[in-house]
Chains A and B, each alone.
Chain A
């Protein structure tokens, strides 16, 4: 007997029910229902909540009225930190006038040598101050992963309350799941040496968010 058959036989014996197709129909109905668990009540405006949560997770946040102002703000941030003005960028935000602000950006997947990665995001989650990024030809996952500095552009209109709302938006706009959904909440961290938290474990050491749209 194959491992699959043997394991499933044991599982069926343990479950101890026979009406498989009826139970399968119930399972399908349950999935279609998309029932949510207890939902949080978020007091503040979503953008305010998102900003304060993101900051509490060690991201820095700059608020701008217009997305067109992002390149100048990014240039200021990079210059102030001494991080250099070269960046790898995802296609969804490559169209802004980066060169006009003195940046040299390349829209391609990131490599080890890239110091700065600039991305947009599919949406952001206010509850936890989290970015939701989807992998795709225009938005390689490496851009938010390999460089030491990750800068993400977030539109206030794309901030949703919860992870459940983010999934609902994804289903509405995209249907299927991409290969990778990455929820990112601040710079990578480790506490594995004597429980001391260090930022910059394997992913970015710093995450800077540019929040554009209305002023939170």
Chain B
């Protein structure tokens, strides 16, 4: 799979180890977590003021997404027809490389030297910025978080808050360098001034770029429309000012009607940021009309597979319902211990632990389905009810079925199965183990450093029993 070549997901353990020791990152994450969780909780609670129920809305959203997925061939045909009828061009891309080829071709046809971008996770899947730069076209990220990450030469660490891992000091250093001014000491009181500075720099890019590139939160089949949800207004800028607009979206992003879109909008912003609605919701159909003073003369949709079609009809089809709100990562204890970069590819958190192995190859992301405490916080907040822990379990099972687990694990499990299947042997082994652990603990009830698995006792003691097995204790109690 072509996506695999850019993935660092096989280095998850090493990266995770590094991130948990990164004090700056840990401070940023600890600051962000209660905000993310609190805002969503408030937004969801507010539904009851209008006598709306979260679970009923969830069911409606789940049904809308399932309706599309179970007949995706039909909905794609309808969307394509109507988008074309409205004057847009529709291209298809099998993978990231094909996305890049299409975008570069369109750019060349229209003499584009600079492209402003509204956030598109698919352009991250495709590493589009590198391809544009290599073709002599300057890509400018315009979502403030994406802009910061681009200046740092990094990738987003969160799908909604791409620069959540950056402190104000990091941002100041990047702005000073890019905007050609000395570094100043900044406190949170300076954040409006820093946002203002970015606004002024990016405004000039908006006005001069010949091409705008965006994703789409949804494609509306009924009208052949791209729906774009932003707070900053950059989505409006890149789809209003340049003469060419390229929309890059996954084939699974279709919703049937405007009514269905309205239903999803009751949960998308609330799940992402707790807002009842995002500041700007734009529905973009076709191209500039006769008499219009603004809007693109050319609109191109690139409908992307990159692993999605293979999930249809599979045990993982539920994952295609995802509307990319980020609630799963915002409620994940693993995400908030590591940040997004440890996950090694475009999507972090529980969503990434499922998508990365599925889109880049299960064998290329062996640790990710195990990066879970099984707490199901993600599953319980998901607005389209994706059973994320269940999908991670299924991926683990598939690793076993395909012989992808380390030999020591398979050997250990086989040995365990052998012992557990013979009660007498099991009791004998358990007695030996209980005595051994008690001897190691020297009767103190806990072990400071456990030599067989030192990692377990690096930050805590291992509590052990008094040297008796459960069977022995049970039998003793029964006698008493």
List residues of chain B with CB within 8 A of the CB of A37: 57, 60-61, 64, 259-260, 262-263, 266
Within 8 A of B (CB), among A6-22: 6-8, 10-17, 20
List residues of chain A with CB within 8 A of the CB of B166: 193
Q: A164-B259, A194-B168 are in contact. Are A10 and B305 (CB under 8 A)?
A: yes
Cβ-defined contact, B277 with A185, below 8 A:
yes
Q: Determine whether B219 belongs to the interface, using a CB cutoff of 8 Å to chain A.
A: no
List residues of chain B with CB within 8 A of the CB of A193: 144, 148, 163, 166, 168, 171, 191, 194-195
Distance in Å: Cβ of B66 to nearest Cβ of chain A: 12
Distance in Å: Cβ of B98 to nearest Cβ of chain A: 6
20 chain-A/chain-B pairs, Cβ below 8 angstroms: A2-B92, A7-B251, A14-B312, A15-B71, A15-B313, A27-B256, A30-B257, A34-B259, A38-B52, A38-B53, A40-B51, A130-B277, A137-B292, A142-B294, A177-B223, A183-B283, A190-B232, A193-B144, A198-B195, A204-B233
Cβ-defined contact, A201 with B231, below 8 A:
yes
Q: A128-B276, A179-B286, A190-B144 are in contact. Are A14 and B311 (CB under 8 A)?
A: yes
Cβ-defined contact, B195 with A4, below 8 A:
no
User: Could you tell me the distance between the alpha carbons of A211 and B337 in the complex, rounded to whole angstroms?
Assistant: 48
Cβ-defined contact, B284 with A202, below 8 A:
no
Q: Determine whether B199 belongs to the interface, using a CB cutoff of 8 Å to chain A.
A: yes
Number of A-B contacts (CB under 8 A): 270
Interface code B81-92, partner A: CB below 8 Å = 1, 0 otherwise? Answer: 000001000011
List residues of chain B with CB within 8 A of the CB of A20: 73-74
List the one stretch of B6-14, B127-135, B235-243, B421-429 in contact with chain A.
Answer: B235-243
Within 8 A of B (CB), among A177-196: 177-196
For B252, the closest partner residue in chain A by CB is: A11
User: Could you tell me the distance between the alpha carbons of A201 and B278 in the complex, rounded to whole angstroms?
Assistant: 13
For B98, the closest partner residue in chain A by CB is: A3
Number of interface residues of A (CB under 8 A): 76
Distance in Å: Cβ of B280 to nearest Cβ of chain A: 6
List residues of chain A with CB within 8 A of the CB of B291: 136-137
Q: A142-B240, A201-B234 are in contact. Are A167 and B277 (CB under 8 A)?
A: no
Q: A14-B313, A112-B207, A195-B161 are in contact. Are A186 and B279 (CB under 8 A)?
A: yes
User: Could you tell me the distance between the alpha carbons of A10 and B71 in the complex, rounded to whole angstroms?
Assistant: 13
Q: Determine whether B440 belongs to the interface, using a CB cutoff of 8 Å to chain A.
A: no
Within 8 A of B (CB), among A124-164: 127-128, 130, 135-137, 140-142, 145, 162-164
Q: Determine whether B281 belongs to the interface, using a CB cutoff of 8 Å to chain A.
A: yes
Cβ-defined contact, B240 with A200, below 8 A:
no
User: Could you tell me the distance between the alpha carbons of A187 and B289 in the complex, rounded to whole angstroms?
Assistant: 27
User: Could you tell me the distance between the alpha carbons of A177 and B265 in the complex, rounded to whole angstroms?
Assistant: 19
Cβ-defined contact, B263 with A40, below 8 A:
no
Q: A6-B94, A14-B312, A194-B191 are in contact. Are A178 and B256 (CB under 8 A)?
A: no
Q: Determine whether B271 belongs to the interface, using a CB cutoff of 8 Å to chain A.
A: no
List residues of chain A with CB within 8 A of the CB of B311: 14
Cβ-defined contact, B144 with A11, below 8 A:
no
Partner of B262, one of A17, A43, A164, A189: A164
List residues of chain B with CB within 8 A of the CB of A15: 70-73, 312-313
